[in-house]
Amino acid sequence: MTRTEETPANDKQRQAGWRVKLGFAIFIASIAWPVFIPVLPLLGVSGTAIAASSATMLVAAELMILAGAAIAGKDGFAVIKAKVFGFLKSYGPPEDVSRPRYMLGLVMFAIPIAFGLASPYLAHHIPGYETRPLIYAIGFDVMLLISLFVLGGAFWEKLRSLFYHDAYAVIPEAHTP
């Protein structure tokens, strides 16, 4: 059999290959599609048109995800899911981190929470907070998210255990030097 001859198995693999690629492309487009929603006010579109467009874009994105999964098929969708989650996992937080990194992460985690609790009472003492509170909110939200990656995967498990009734904390005994 030469390379140009097609067998049913090769034809099936080639057909599945383009289906997976098309399904993946539709999946990526469905994620990118709603990114255009914040652009609409910059174009001078009215508020009602923005609301209607936003709803249409979000529904279209969901339908595109379903279409991508249907086109790729069960095995293709499994391949797409493995690629996407594999990519995200490669950039995820490490399981264990050093003590200084953990302490830095705890400070980064605690500052936005403390600021959020204190800001209603101390707003007039914080420079620029009364005129532009959104800048502070976005900055501290980003700091909180970054702190979760600085703290590492073990901290994610600690946070996750908060939502399980049967979870217990295991505190290691202090070592005396």
**Domain spans of the chain, in order of start:** 8-90, 99-161
Entry pTM: 0.51
> pLDDT tens for residues 35-79?
777 888 888 888 888 888 888 888 888 898 888 888 888 888 777
| Crossing angle of the two packed helices 133-151 and 153-161, in degrees rounded to 10 | 110
* Helix (H) or strand (E) run with residue 39 in it: helix 39-42
Residues with Cβ < 8 Å from 167, sequence gap 6 or more?
Answer: 161
> pLDDT tens for residues 152-174?
878 888 888 888 889 887 888 87
- If you ran DSSP here, which 8-state letter would residue 126 be given? S
- Whether the per-residue pLDDT at 142 is higher than 90: the answer is yes
